[in-house]
Amino acid sequence: MDGSSSSLKSAALLEQMKLHLASDAGKDLTKKIGLVYQLNIAPKKIGMDEEIYVVDLKEGKVTKGPYKGKPDTTFSFTDNDFLSIATGKMNPQMAFIRGAMKIKGSISAAQKFTPDIFPKPSKL
Amino acid sequence: MAARDLVTGGAACAVPGTASSSNPFGALANTILGSSSKAQELKGLPGTSVNVPGSSSDFGPEAPLTTIPGSEYEGQQHQQLDARNSEFLHGFRTADHGFEDAWDEIHRPPVLSHAQGREGQPHFAEFEQIYDHSGSSVLQPTWDGPPQRVLSSFLHSFVDSGRAGVPFRPAALPVLGLSEVDKQCIRDRSCIMARHIFADKSEEFISAQVNALLHSLDIDSDHRIRGPMNGPFRELEEYWNESQGAMKSGMPNSADRWVTEFNQPREIADPEAWAHSFEQLHGANGWASEFEQEQSQMASIGQLSGGNMSNVAAMEQSRMLAHTLAQNTNPKFQNSKFLQFVSKMSRGELIVDENQIKPATGSISADWADEYQAQYNVSPNSWADQFVRGELSQGTDKWADEFAKEHPQHKADDPWVNEFSKLHVQDWAEEFGQQVSEGLFGESSADNWADAYDKYLDEQLLGSKQQSSASRGVYVFSDMNPYVGHPNPLKEGQELFRKGLLSEAVLALEAEVLKNPDNAEGWRLLGITHAENDDDQQAIASMMRAQEVDPTNLEVLLALGVSHTNELEQPEALKYLYKWLQNHPKYGGLTPPEQADSLYYGDVARLFNEAAQMSPDDADVHIVLGVLYNLSREYDKAIKSFQTALKLKPRDYSLWNKLGATQANSIQSADAILAYQQALDLKPNYVRAWANMGISYANQGLYEESLRYYVRALSMNPKADNVWQYLRISLSCVSRNDMFEACDSRNLDVLQKEFPL
């Protein structure tokens, strides 16, 4: 199964993100934000069996595995919470306050991590 | 000035003019020093206790249950509160020397002796001041007396067994004289606790654990676990539901309750009032608060396991944030509930967790603060970097490692230890360094934070009903349904569906399945309607009911496969698509007779390709293949499959939508919009296609356009929650914050006027 060694739901969204970054809208994003985010996504519990993705809005790409270098901000959350954030169900500040999202690195960079940077999945 | 001096000297330093007067670096130092001294104490001096007189020395987690006296206090714990508290306060005041010594010994690690004179005194003064201030009105349930302690130790061992993952053994306890109310309380709370602690265990295991606990306490377990709780514990149930909704992420349970407690409308600046309410709440639930307090203590030494740790971690995290944000000078921010929350929070910690007491004296430190500020202005980045990467950071890492080693019951890779140390030191330090070097938050972002806090607090007050209601796979019926009592709601529902009045059709079909719960066709059509109305959760719930009644219905199986695909739930989607093949009269023979335990995507895809070769003119096979390729994100193949199917079924509007959605997901948005247009020509009220249109515009960065389509979709189905979310994102992208209110209050009239299509 293509690219789905991951059992995470987020993997589907990040796959879409990868394609999205190649589009015009995606290129605007890299111009506008220009930051590197590392996402540590856990299936159930933060910190457990995490899969690591890098959303590089400097270079405009999404890769699996830890960032080589220092990402501007690293987020840790569960699969579901990440999706909730990316689809606007839960705002990132709220997620942080609730302990559903942990932040390491620059908070001002973290504040640019908003739901509008992610493409929305369309429904069949 | 070296980083280390800054840190150790910082505990007594206040940042002038802020609500949270404790210097963040001081807090950091306290955290490190306090925790490590606590660790030492645990290792070397099992008999010493940080607790002030009145508490016993065998208070620790491993305290033997049977040696604790207490039966003589039988049934008296509530009546005796006042007497015992004044006794405690008396003891506290007379034992000043002993206490001060103990305090110093525990809180000042020998390494940092030069800091003692500066730090120890304010520390103690602060502590005493608190007690003087709140005076006799503070009831401290912690010191309630031996029966409580027996209980708490016993509950402690219950929690410990959860960490070790071993079955909990019942123990013979002295008679505790629990009232029926107490028992009810323990029964209910232990059920909840157990589910948090054993989140990864089976239901049977949890039941067995709880039974063992309740049995030892001579509580009958009749009302346990299942069924909603009533009365005063309803709010706990809500928290529970909410935390489940968040996929066991360890939603703050006790922390939430705690926040709610603090948020009761009252004089915030009045500690007496606060103390009073604390007494009201915790005096009545003696053991519960003691239990919670012990948890905080355990947490503060990195011992706590299970979901509770993340409660505390969440509190910790907000607190760290609070320290940083408190430096913002924006008046709106300073007056926000958020900051009030912060000040409440710090006051709360004084009581809830004595290890977290923060010195608030600041007169000597103004000079220091200036000096510090000056240093920062000179070379902010290098200092921050030094702090983050330098010896201190290493030192704390080492400390975390050592700590893990010294406590053999925690493995070195204990995630909680890691998380805890990370939370306390690195994240926070980095964040702080960044904050200061960038000259604090901009105004608008501070507003965002303040708003988020306000919203969070409101949510706590309201008990966030939204999330608890929709547990997965359970159908949620509408409250008011005019079709209940209709002579033939199914026929009515079919009629409405044909007319494209989807939301009305939902109501009629709900009336049908309420009347005839075994009507598979009613459930199926209800599911289809929800899917077209862009609500996959409800679609799945309906289709599962349909499938219960009619397990081999192909349309139902396909619909389940599609909805689970939309929800990104691969394994479930694969399961239903495979069942579709198995139950198909023509292709069922292709599947191996024995049921495989786990399905492999490759096998399923191969079988479907065989089926497509068998009968290339069967549109349905191509449709399922298209869904399958969506699952594996092979969008080009998926698009081809749907296009093949469309040649066979050109008037299938849902097929046009599937093609469009696939194109959209592979970022061919322009094509997608054409496909959606086809679908809408065939079915003008197809909410899903309208919503998808909006998504396609938004994904292309055409937010202004997307608004109109979202609003159109919502005007047809105001219950489409995800569309409301998307609408809000688009509004913020075009800076139409003036429409937030209409969006949040779901005021469609305003929105339709503003964004006509």
- What are B425-477's pLDDT values in tens digits? 344 444 544 444 454 444 445 556 666 666 666 665 554 444 434 456 889 99
| Contact call for A100 and B665, based on CB within 8 A | no
Closest residue of chain B to A48, computed from CA coordinates:
B415
CB-CB: which of B249, B419, B567 is closest to A78?
B249
Average pLDDT over every residue of B337-342? 49
Residues of chain B with Cβ-Cβ distance to A108 below 8 Å are 434-435, 438, 441, 445
Say how many C-beta atoms besides its own lie within 10 A of residue B109's C-beta.
17
Average pLDDT over every residue of B543-561? 95
- Given a contact cutoff of 8 angstroms between Cβ atoms, the answer to whether B313 and B420 are in contact is yes
At a CB cut-off of 8 Å and minimum separation 6, what does B324 contact?
A107, B24, B431, B432, B435
Closest residue of chain A to B534, computed from CA coordinates:
A123
At a CB cut-off of 8 Å and minimum separation 6, what does B272 contact?
B134, B137
Quote the CA–CA distance of B661 and B667 in Å, as a whole number: 10
Question: Could you tell me if B29 lies within 8 Å of chain A, comparing CB atoms?
Answer: no
| From B116-120, B175-179, B358-362, the region with the lowest mean pLDDT | B358-362
Question: Could you tell me if B571 lies within 8 Å of chain A, comparing CB atoms?
Answer: yes
Residues of chain A with Cβ-Cβ distance to B566 below 8 Å are 121, 123-124
At a CB cut-off of 8 Å and minimum separation 6, what does B606 contact?
none
| Contact call for A99 and B252, based on CB within 8 A | yes
Average pLDDT over every residue of B386-412? 40
Confidence at residue B191, expressed as pLDDT on a 0 to 100 scale: 67
- Given a contact cutoff of 8 angstroms between Cβ atoms, the answer to whether B452 and B341 are in contact is no
What the block records as the tokens of B276 is 């009073």
Confidence at residue B648, expressed as pLDDT on a 0 to 100 scale: 96
| Contact call for B725 and A81, based on CB within 8 A | no
Closest residue of chain A to B535, computed from CA coordinates:
A123
Average pLDDT over every residue of A52-72? 93
Backbone φ and ψ for B230, nearest 5 degrees, come out as -115, 180
| Contact call for B726 and A119, based on CB within 8 A | no
Quote the CA–CA distance of B91 and B83 in Å, as a whole number: 12
Q: Which range, A67-71, B192-196, B350-354, is most confident?
A: A67-71
Confidence at residue B241, expressed as pLDDT on a 0 to 100 scale: 54
- Given a contact cutoff of 8 angstroms between Cβ atoms, the answer to whether B273 and B267 are in contact is yes
End-to-end CA, chain A:
20
Closest residue of chain A to B250, computed from CA coordinates:
A45
Per-residue pLDDT band for B187 (boundaries 50, 70, 90) equals confident
Per-residue pLDDT band for B343 (boundaries 50, 70, 90) equals very low
Residues of chain A with Cβ-Cβ distance to B435 below 8 Å are 107-108
Max CA pair span of chain B: 94
| Contact call for B692 and A123, based on CB within 8 A | yes
Average pLDDT over every residue of B564-577? 92
Q: Which range, A98-102, B250-254, B567-571, B624-628, is most confident?
A: B624-628
What the block records as the tokens of B663 is 């194109």
What the block records as the tokens of B527 is 């599911």
Closest residue of chain B to A28, computed from CA coordinates:
B701
Question: A69-122: per-residue pLDDT in tens?
Answer: 999 999 999 999 999 999 998 888 888 888 888 888 888 888 889 899 999 999
CB-CB: which of B313, B669, B699 is closest to A99?
B313
| From B127-141, B162-176, B569-583, B664-678, the region with the lowest mean pLDDT | B127-141
Task: Give me the amino acid identity at B567.
Answer: E
Confidence at residue B591, expressed as pLDDT on a 0 to 100 scale: 84
Per-residue pLDDT band for B481 (boundaries 50, 70, 90) equals very high
A–B interface: beta-carbon pairs under 8 A: 186
The alpha-carbon radius of gyration of chain B (Å, integer) is 31
| Contact call for B318 and A123, based on CB within 8 A | no
| Contact call for B728 and A81, based on CB within 8 A | no
Question: Could you tell me if B328 lies within 8 Å of chain A, comparing CB atoms?
Answer: no
Distance from CA of B724 to the nearest CA of A (A): 9
Residues of chain B with Cβ-Cβ distance to A89 below 8 Å are 721-722, 725
Residues of chain A with Cβ-Cβ distance to B665 below 8 Å are 16, 121-122
Question: Could you tell me if B251 lies within 8 Å of chain A, comparing CB atoms?
Answer: yes
| Contact call for B455 and A88, based on CB within 8 A | no
Quote the CA–CA distance of B469 and B484 in Å, as a whole number: 22
CB-CB: which of B438, B449, B633 is closest to A12?
B633
Q: How far is CA B182 from CA B61, B185, B299, in A?
A: 22, 5, 25
Boundaries of every domain in chain B: 27-51+81-143+228-360+376-437, 652-757
| Contact call for A123 and B536, based on CB within 8 A | yes
Helices and strands counted in chain A (H then E): 5, 5
Return the residue in A80, A98, A103, A113 with the most chain B beta carbons within 10 A, the one to mutate for interface testing: A98
Question: B275-307: per-residue pLDDT in tens?
Answer: 444 444 444 344 444 445 544 444 444 433 444
Q: Which residues pair with A61 in a beta bridge?
A: A56
Question: B208-263: per-residue pLDDT in tens?
Answer: 777 777 777 777 665 444 334 444 455 555 555 554 444 333 334 444 444 444 44
| Contact call for A25 and B701, based on CB within 8 A | yes
Distance from CA of A115 to the nearest CA of B (A): 7
| Contact call for B452 and A123, based on CB within 8 A | no
Task: Give me the amino acid identity at B4.
Answer: R
> What is the distance of C-alpha B548 from the center of its chain?
32
Distance from CA of A71 to the nearest CA of B (A): 12
Say how many C-beta atoms besides its own lie within 10 A of residue B392's C-beta.
21
Enter the CATH code of domain A10-113. 3.30.1050.10
Question: Could you tell me if B132 lies within 8 Å of chain A, comparing CB atoms?
Answer: no
Indicate the angle between helix axes B380-389 and B365-378, nearest 10 degrees.
100
Average pLDDT over every residue of B267-281? 44
Question: Could you tell me if B602 lies within 8 Å of chain A, comparing CB atoms?
Answer: yes
Confidence at residue B237, expressed as pLDDT on a 0 to 100 scale: 53
Distance from CA of A114 to the nearest CA of B (A): 9
Q: Is B498 or B151 the better-scoring residue by pLDDT?
A: B498
Distance from CA of B209 to the nearest CA of A (A): 22
Question: Could you tell me if B421 lies within 8 Å of chain A, comparing CB atoms?
Answer: no
Does the pLDDT of residue B539 top 90, yes or no? yes
Confidence at residue A20, expressed as pLDDT on a 0 to 100 scale: 92
Question: B196-205: per-residue pLDDT in tens?
Answer: 666 666 777 7
Distance from CA of A64 to the nearest CA of B (A): 16
Distance from CA of A107 to the nearest CA of B (A): 6
Residues of chain B with Cβ-Cβ distance to A100 below 8 Å are 246, 249, 251
| Contact call for B434 and A107, based on CB within 8 A | yes
At a CB cut-off of 8 Å and minimum separation 6, what does B187 contact?
B214, B219, B221, B223, B224
Residues of chain A with Cβ-Cβ distance to B560 below 8 Å are none
Q: Is A17 or B367 the better-scoring residue by pLDDT?
A: A17
Fold of B652-757: 1.25.40
Q: Hey, CA dihedral for B70, B71, B76, B77, is it positive or negative?
A: positive
> Residue for token digits 């103004």?
B366
Per-residue pLDDT band for B381 (boundaries 50, 70, 90) equals very low
